[in-house]
Chains A and B, each alone.
Chain A
Amino acid sequence: MPDLTFESHGVVALLSSDKADLLCAAAAMLPPGFRAVEGNPIVRFGLDSPGAITVDGKVVRRTKDRRAAVLDLASIVRRHVAEHAPSDVFVHAGVVAVGDCGIVVPGPSHSGKTALVAELVARGATYYSDEYAVVDAEGMIHPFAKPLTVRSRTGDGLAETIHVDAERLATRPIRCGAIVIAHYREGATWQPSARPCGEGAFALLKNTVSARRRPVDAMRTAAALARHAVVLAGERGEACEASSWLLARLDMTVRSE
């Protein structure tokens, strides 16, 4: 059975499949920056042609759609890396940059952060991630630019990929300059208020994947990111309004597509 041993953020894992082309498709979706290695994996992921996704031999999901299966496996792998990375701290958040200012949008799945990230990138911000803020021990946020995907509006549960120009992809770590706590509500008007840094840190901690496993690092990271950041919170409606507001306030020249 074809397989690939890889390393991502300190996690060594094995990916296997019963079909070589399926393995290739799955490998193409491994976490950004992964590298093939030789070594003992701490976890084994599998994807077979009938559509079963396994983790350490246990079936965790089944789907007959090949593309959906590859995307699901990719998400499961990223989540595992996020939880088990020994050094970096993963915060469930979208991240973009405006100049030297990193903008972190914490939030769980379905909170609308991807839509806001997509709008910010379309208007000139640099794309870091729509899923995780990856923070090192020095408090720097690293790119984790998986394909920018939004849920299909056709209601079929699949994802649509949004193209991001190469010049908009982040290539270097950045400091957190702003934390945007944006709750989506249809029809809402974006009128955020400035909040204390403690509120920003609390929101980050709530969305830190490994908070229970590594509480010391999680607390330290949340506090470090928030201490020097502007924290904004509010309800937002359409992402275009909020993104325009944010870029204008951060003195970024708005460049609409």
Chain B
Amino acid sequence: MRLDRPISRTEGLLTEEVDGELLAYDWGTNTAWRLNSTAAIVWRSCDGTRTLEDLLEVLEAELGSGVDEDVILIALDELVEHGMIESGYERRDEVSVRLSRRRFFKGATAATVAVAVPVVYSMAVPSAAAAASYPK
């Protein structure tokens, strides 16, 4: 794993905030993403100035207790996988990713349950013909 003040990709992206979550659209590839609230906070906070510890502080300030390093790393892995981190972080190997998730859920308490595991959903935005009705 390499983490060095990650920078989120913003070029070519349209974004809209929806009740703490984030919608993003890449008009070059017609791909859209939905970041849940935890992933959205991490993405917004990756401005090239923050270390892992700084990101942890931001997340704790936004979500309260129950946040640890695993949450940040899971979020960054998700964001890299979907091409939403420009630089400063490389996705970990699958074993490390799974271990993080296992630690997160194993250590879940009432407090951590309130912290949603970071998730990024993606979809290919359909063409007009695909999105509309076929003749009935």
**Residues A197 and B21 in contact in the complex (CB < 8 Å), given A83-B128, A209-B128:** yes
Do B32 and A212 touch across chains, with their CB atoms under 8 A apart?
no
CB distance from B129 to the nearest CB of A (A): 8
Find chain A residues with CB under 8 A from B121 CB. 202
Residue of B nearest to A151 (CB): B136
Give complex CA distance A61, B134 in Å. 12
Do A198 and B34 touch across chains, with their CB atoms under 8 A apart?
yes
Give complex CA distance A215, B14 in Å. 8
Residue of A nearest to B40 (CB): A198
Give complex CA distance A90, B32 in Å. 18
**Residues A206 and B21 in contact in the complex (CB < 8 Å), given A71-B135, A76-B135, A222-B16:** no
Do A108 and B131 touch across chains, with their CB atoms under 8 A apart?
yes
When the two chains form the complex, which single residue of A76, A197, A212 contacts B18, counting CB atoms closer than 8 Å? A197
What is the size, in residues, of chain B's interface with A at 8 Å between Cβ atoms? 32
Do B131 and A75 touch across chains, with their CB atoms under 8 A apart?
no
Find chain B residues with CB under 8 A from A219 CB. 14-16, 23, 25
CB distance from B33 to the nearest CB of A (A): 9
Tell me whether A4 is interfacial, beta carbon within 8 Å: no
**Residues A223 and B131 in contact in the complex (CB < 8 Å), given A159-B136, A198-B18, A211-B126:** no
Do A206 and B125 touch across chains, with their CB atoms under 8 A apart?
yes
Residue of A nearest to B32 (CB): A205
When the two chains form the complex, which single residue of A75, A90, A108, A227 contacts B136, counting CB atoms closer than 8 Å? A75
Residue of B nearest to A60 (CB): B135
Give complex CA distance A26, B25 in Å. 38
Residue of A nearest to B26 (CB): A215
Residue of A nearest to B131 (CB): A209
A residues apposed to B, CB below 8 Å? 61, 71-72, 75-76, 78-79, 82-83, 90, 92, 108-109, 131, 149, 151, 159, 196-199, 201-202, 205-213, 215-216, 218-220, 222-223, 226-227
- Given A196-B37, A206-B126, A209-B128, 8 more A-B residue pairs with CB atoms under 8 Å apart are A79-B133, A197-B19, A202-B23, A209-B132, A211-B32, A212-B128, A215-B14, A215-B27
Question: What are some 5 contacts across the A-B interface (CB < 8 A)?
Answer: A131-B133, A151-B136, A202-B121, A212-B125, A226-B19
